Amino acid sequence: MNCPNCRHPIASSEVNVQKDIAHCSSCNHVFKISENIEAAEDDILLESFDPAVTPDGVHHEIKSDGVYISIKTGSAKTAFILIPFTLAWSGFSLGMLYGRQILSGEFDLVMSIFGLPFLAGSILLIGVVLNSLAGRATLHLTNSGGTYFHGVGTLGIKKKWRWEETVQIIDTISTVRYPGSGTRAIKIEGPSRISVGSAIKDDKVDYFYYALRYYFDQYKRKKYIY
């Protein structure tokens, strides 16, 4: 068993099963054993984790400026369904609302305002299609912290954190509307809680989670990750 605070191995003499508590001699942290059983199972999996062994669709590379992990979030199946729908939606709605104005050379304020929701919907659909075709989630990890990016090309969402401010990294499922529904995401807890990986499919989230845990543990033990 490792300490949930500093990851230092807990000596058997520091464990009191009857009182359900354990003490870490390294950081002086006291915690309940029962609340850390799942964490202990995670530790076992983490010990055998090798970030260089990646599942299909995941790229791991160590460069001079840090560790790069890239995961394709797009889906050809989703794109195949959305492309015809997007073309039909955008072509019909925008063609009817704005195409006539362009062809006639006359501006219609009412029709233009009425068409704004359809224009916004078309832009949203095009963004989803582009993400389905070329979307990627990327981690750039350095000795001081990390950067998470999800998007297409240079357009997307970027989040940053520092290792020295990070308390823990947990795998969560956020419930939406009703129990059993929700999105799996990885939470990086520090001064604020940063959520990453919600766009990644389940078969790759495990790798994403353990890679973050692996390099965070490297930092806590050595103060550097590569």
H/E/C letters for each residue in the chain? CECCCCCCECCHHHEECCCCEEECCCCCCEEECHHHHHHHHHHHHHHCCCCCCCCCCEEEEEECCEEEEEEECCCHHHHHHHHHHHHHHHHHHHHHHHHHHHHHCCCCHHHHHHCHHHHHHHHHHHHHHHHHHHCEEEEEECCCEEEEEEEECCEEEEEEEEHHHCCEEEEEEEECCCCCCEEEEEEEECCCEEEECCCCCHHHHHHHHHHHHHHHHHHHHHCCCC
pLDDT of residue 142: 97
Domain holding 101, by residue range, is 76-133
Amino acid letter, residue 122? S
- Check whether residue 129 and residue 142 sit in a common domain: no
> Could you tell me which residue, 74 or 127, shows the higher pLDDT?
127
Tell me which of 93, 108, 133 is where a domain ends. 133
63 has a pLDDT exceeding 60? yes
- Check whether residue 67 and residue 156 sit in a common domain: yes
Q: How many domains does the chain have?
A: 3
- Check whether residue 143 and residue 62 sit in a common domain: yes
Tell me what the mean pLDDT of segment 57-76 comes to: 90
- Check whether residue 56 and residue 165 sit in a common domain: yes
Q: Half-sphere exposure (CA, 13 Å, Cβ side) for 142?
A: 10
pLDDT of residue 40: 63
pLDDT band at 134 (very low <50, low <70, confident <90, very high): confident
Q: Residue 187's closest CA among 207, 173, 176?
A: 173
- Check whether residue 146 and residue 206 sit in a common domain: yes
pLDDT of residue 38: 61
- Check whether residue 141 and residue 57 sit in a common domain: yes
Tell me which of 102, 118, 133 is where a domain ends. 133
Amino acid letter, residue 62? I
pLDDT of residue 210: 92
- Check whether residue 58 and residue 84 sit in a common domain: no
d(CA 211, CA 52): 9
Tell me which of 133, 156, 174 is where a domain ends. 133
- Check whether residue 85 and residue 170 sit in a common domain: no
pLDDT of residue 87: 86
Write the pLDDT tens digit of every residue in 26-41: 888 888 877 776 666 6
Look over the chain and give the mean of its residue pLDDT values, rounded to a whole number: 84
Q: What is the pTM of this model?
A: 0.70
pLDDT band at 103 (very low <50, low <70, confident <90, very high): confident
- Residues above pLDDT 70, as percent of the chain: 91
Tell me what the mean pLDDT of segment 44-67 comes to: 90
- Check whether residue 69 and residue 156 sit in a common domain: yes
- Check whether residue 143 and residue 69 sit in a common domain: yes
> Could you tell me which residue, 181 or 96, shows the higher pLDDT?
96
pLDDT band at 166 (very low <50, low <70, confident <90, very high): very high
Q: What is the CATH number of the domain that holds 165?
A: 2.30.29
